[in-house]
Structure 1
Amino acid sequence: MIPESVSPLEAKKRIEQGAVLIDIRDRAEYLREHIPNARSVPLSDIAAGKTVDGVEQQTVIFHCQSGMRTAQNAITLINAASPAPVLLMTGGINAWKSAQFPTNEDKKQPLPIMRQVQIVAGALILTGVVLGYTVNSGLFLLSGFVGAGLLFAGVSGWCGMAMLLSKMPWNRPAK
Structure 2
Amino acid sequence: MSERLQPGDVAPDFELPDADESAVSLASLRGRRVILYFYPAAMTPGCTKESVDFEGSLAELEAAGVTVVGVSPDKPAKLAKFREKEGLTFPLLSDPDAEVLKAYGAYGEKKLYGKVVVGVIRSTFIIDAEGRIEKAYYNVKATGHVERLRRDLGV
Q: TM-score, normalised by structure 1?
A: 0.25
Larger radius of gyration: 1
Q: TM-score, normalised by structure 2?
A: 0.27
Higher helix residue share: 1
Higher strand residue share: 2
Higher relative contact order (CA 8 A, sep 6+): 2
